[in-house]
Amino acid sequence: MQLQFLGTGAGMPSKDRNTSALAVKLLEECGSIWLFDCGEATQHQILHTTIKPRKIDKIFITHLHGDHIFGLPGFLSSRSFLGGEELLTIYGPKGLQQWVEQTLKLSNTHVTYSIAFVEVEEGIVFEDSQFIVRAMPLEHVIECFGYRIEQKALPGELLIDKAIQLGVPKGPLLGKLKVGYDITLDDGSIVLSKEVTSELKEGFTVTILGDTKFCSNAITLAEKADIVIHEATFDHSTIELAAQYGHATNTEAAKVAQLANAKYLILNHISARFLKSDLIPFLKEAQEQFPNTFIANDQTQYEWRQHQLHEL
Q: Is 236 annotated as a binding residue?
A: no
Q: What are phi and psi of 124, to 5 degrees?
A: -80, 125
- Rg (C-alpha) for the chain, rounded Å, is 22
Angle of CA points 237, 239, 243, to nearest 5°: 160
Question: Of the candidates 29, 282, 56, which has an alpha carbon nearest to the alpha carbon of residue 21?
Answer: 56
93: amino acid identity, one letter? P
How many C-beta atoms lie closer than 10 Å to residue 211's C-beta? 27
Q: Is 65 annotated as a binding residue?
A: yes
Q: How far apart are CA 15 and CA 264, in angstroms?
A: 27
Q: Is 140 annotated as a binding residue?
A: yes
Q: How far apart are CA 26 and CA 184, in angstroms?
A: 34
DSSP assigned state of 154: B
Collapsing DSSP states into helix, strand and coil, what is residue 25? strand
Angle of CA points 122, 103, 245, to nearest 5°: 50
Q: Which of 67, 226, 235, 298 is catalytic?
A: 67
Angstrom CA distances, 230 to 40, 54, 108, 283, stand at 20, 27, 37, 13
Q: How far apart are CA 279 and CA 267, in angstroms?
A: 11
Q: Is 110 annotated as a binding residue?
A: no
Which helix (H) or strand (E) segment is 191 a member of? strand 190-191
182 is catalytic: no
Q: Is 310 annotated as a binding residue?
A: no
Angstrom CA distances, 32 to 21, 49, 91, 274, stand at 16, 15, 16, 34
Question: Residues within the annotated binding site for Zn(2+)?
Answer: 63, 65, 67-68, 140, 211, 269
Active site residues: 67
